[in-house]
């Protein structure tokens, strides 16, 4: 009998022909985190993934696996051979693992994924019930039990009861590469997390206005990228100085269009980076109505720029709910550190609430748009933000 961890894959299992690719991506992710543990191995048996490791590492491995997208449940599981040797021992191990919880009733739930197995599910249920009734104080309640004892018959036989919720979503890398516009605020790291959870490999671009914005502000953004990387792995961060562009806008365009015009340049540069470094999508933390540049007019005007799909996963969310996610993924505390943002440089007193495409295009005709983008691109810095093991 061995104790191991099983992973249930939920939505991934619905994915028809892609299922194998999806499952292999998750196995790859599990192998990546496995580097920190000795004698750990991963395999698949029917629809689940199983991790075999030293018993004393199980809690730690579960903690790591919780961050992997695509996993719905994580379950401590006892495995025995199909010859049923150790069956009783395994059933009792599962029942006893529930001992501290004050449970009184249980129900057995066997499932033969491999129908060739000679004992029927109903008979397995009876056997499990008999063992538990004979050896413990638990009673059977078929309608409303305090806990279930599950028994899955596959290549091997697996017994388990409690299961922990995983992150869900789709495995990383199954939906291409996305470039996140990462500011130092609360929203954009959450947006990056949400799209990574849908299977996008996320890298980030940050715009600063050095020396108007400080190196510490830049460090803060790198710290955010690093926290995000706990879920997505190594992140490449493109760091772009927007100052010359902002100066040009400030000199040549109406004051109240500063923010919206800067935003359009951010999108142009994000598009340029996407072309050069092969990103299929752009991700922002924009949220309808939150600030002046995120009115419907503002969004229409920035949306007109890039030749890529722009994901705005926070568009319809309330700030309190965004904050809740920021706290749960661990970015909130860093996000609220008070550092200046490039947008606060030349901040207009009354930003335009209803910009039109025609209006901003007219203002931009006073600028050397292509040259400005080219110049910013030529000074682009690329930082690789790795996770420590
Ligand atoms: P956040 O909390 O993410 O800073 P916000 O509520 O402050 O968002 P804005 O400042 O209007 O909103 O920015 C909207 C979105 O534009 C951000 O979520 C981010 O995706 C992008 N963005 C804004 N400023 C920057 C920046 N300096 N570098 C990169 N992206 C930025
Ligand atoms: Mg911001």
Per-residue pLDDT reduced to its tens digit, 201-240: 999 999 999 998 899 999 999 999 999 999 999 999 999 9
CA dihedral angle for residue 137, residue 141, residue 146, residue 147, rounded to 10 degrees: 90
Examine the domain organization and report whether 341 and 367 are in the same domain.
yes
Q: Which of 165, 200, 215 is the last residue of a domain?
A: 165
Examine the domain organization and report whether 217 and 156 are in the same domain.
no
- Distance in Å, CA 191 to ligand 2 centroid: 12
Which ligand gives the minimal distance to the CA of 262? 1
Would 36 be classed as within a structural domain? yes
pLDDT tens-digit map of 30-48: 998 888 899 999 999 988 9
Would 172 be classed as within a structural domain? no
Indicate if the pLDDT at residue 147 is higher than 90: yes
Examine the domain organization and report whether 285 and 332 are in the same domain.
yes
178, β-bridge pairs: 202, 281
Which ligand gives the minimal distance to the CA of 342? 1
pLDDT-based confidence at residue 160 (cuts at 50, 70, 90)? very high
Question: Considering only CA atoms, which residue is closest to atom 18 of ligand 1?
Answer: 285
- Distance in Å, CA 139 to ligand 1 centroid: 57
Give yes or no for a contact between 162 and 76, defined as CB atoms under 8 angstroms apart. Answer: yes
Examine the domain organization and report whether 340 and 376 are in the same domain.
yes
Tell whether 181 is in a known binding site: yes
pLDDT tens-digit map of 116-133: 999 999 999 999 999 999
Indicate whether residue 218 lines ligand 1 (CB < 6 A): no
Give yes or no for a contact between 159 and 97, defined as CB atoms under 8 angstroms apart. Answer: no
Which domain covers residue 111, as residue numbers?
2-165
Examine the domain organization and report whether 126 and 254 are in the same domain.
no
- pLDDT the model gives residue 50: 97
Examine the domain organization and report whether 224 and 347 are in the same domain.
yes
Q: What are the residues whose beta carbon lies below 5 Å from ligand 2 (ion)?
A: 183, 185
Examine the domain organization and report whether 138 and 209 are in the same domain.
no
Examine the domain organization and report whether 35 and 160 are in the same domain.
yes
Indicate whether residue 183 lines ligand 1 (CB < 6 A): yes
Question: Considering only CA atoms, which residue is closest to atom 26 of ligand 1?
Answer: 183
Domain CATH for 140: 3.30.2130.30
Indicate if the pLDDT at residue 343 is higher than 90: no
Examine the domain organization and report whether 231 and 361 are in the same domain.
yes
Indicate whether residue 246 lines ligand 1 (CB < 6 A): no
Examine the domain organization and report whether 146 and 187 are in the same domain.
no
Examine the domain organization and report whether 81 and 139 are in the same domain.
yes
Would 78 be classed as within a structural domain? yes
- What span, in angstroms and rounded, lies between the C-alpha atoms of 167 and 155? 27
Tell whether 207 is in a known binding site: yes
Would 14 be classed as within a structural domain? yes
**DSSP strand pairing (381-385 vs 235-241):** antiparallel
Structural domain tally of the chain?
Answer: 2
Examine the domain organization and report whether 190 and 154 are in the same domain.
no
Give yes or no for a contact between 5 and 74, defined as CB atoms under 8 angstroms apart. Answer: yes
Give the pTM.
Answer: 0.90
- pLDDT the model gives residue 177: 97
- Distance in Å, CA 284 to ligand 1 centroid: 7
Ligand 1 binding pocket mutation candidate from 178, 185, 291, 315 (most atoms within 8 A of CB): 185
Domain CATH for 333: 3.40.50.620
Would 347 be classed as within a structural domain? yes
Q: Which of 114, 141, 165 is the last residue of a domain?
A: 165
Q: Which of 111, 134, 165 is the last residue of a domain?
A: 165
């Amino acid at each position: 009998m061995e104790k191991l961890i099983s992973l249930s894959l939920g939505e991934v299992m619905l994915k028809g022909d892609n299922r194998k690719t999806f499952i292999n991506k998750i196995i790859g992710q599990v192998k990546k985190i496995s580097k920190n543990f000795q004698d750990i191995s991963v395999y698949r048996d029917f629809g689940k993934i199983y991790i075999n490791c030293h018993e004393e590492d199980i809690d730690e491995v579960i903690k790591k696996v919780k961050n992997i997208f695509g996993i719905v449940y994580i379950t401590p599981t006892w495995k025995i051979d199909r010859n049923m040797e150790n069956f009783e021992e395994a059933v009792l191990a599962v029942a006893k693992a529930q001992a501290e919880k004050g449970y009184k009733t249980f129900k057995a739930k066997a499932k033969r994924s491999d129908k060739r197995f000679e004992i029927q599910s109903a008979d397995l249920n009876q056997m499990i019930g008999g063992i538990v009734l004979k050896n413990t104080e638990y009673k059977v309640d078929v309608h409303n039990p305090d806990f279930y004892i599950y028994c899955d018959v596959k290549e091997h036989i697996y017994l388990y009861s409690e299961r922990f919720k995983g992150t869900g979503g789709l495995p990383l890398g199954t939906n291409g590469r996305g470039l996140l516009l990462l500011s130092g605020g609360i929203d954009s790291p959450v947006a990056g997390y949400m799209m990574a959870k849908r299977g996008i490999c996320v890298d980030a671009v940050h715009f600063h206005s050095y020396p108007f914005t400080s190196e510490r502000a830049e460090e803060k953004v790198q710290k955010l990228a690093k926290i995000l990387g706990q879920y997505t792995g190594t992140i490449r961060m493109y760091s772009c100085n927007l100052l010359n562009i902002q100066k040009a806008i400030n000199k040549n365009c109406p004051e109240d269009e500063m923010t919206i015009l800067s935003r359009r340049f951010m999108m142009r540069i994000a598009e340029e980076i996407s072309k050069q470094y092969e990103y299929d999508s752009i991700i922002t933390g924009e949220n309808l109505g939150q600030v002046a540049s995120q009115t419907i007019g503002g969004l229409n005007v920035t949306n007109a720029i890039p030749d890529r799909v722009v994901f705005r996963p926070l568009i319809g969310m309330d700030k309190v709910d965004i904050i809740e996610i920021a706290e749960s993924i661990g970015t909130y505390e860093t996000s609220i550190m008070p550092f200046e943002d490039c947008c606060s440089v030349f901040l207009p007193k009354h930003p335009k609430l209803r910009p039109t495409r025609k209006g901003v295009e007219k203002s931009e005709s006073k600028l050397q748009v292509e040259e400005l983008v080219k110049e910013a691109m030529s000074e682009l810095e690329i930082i690789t933000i790795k996770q420590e093991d």
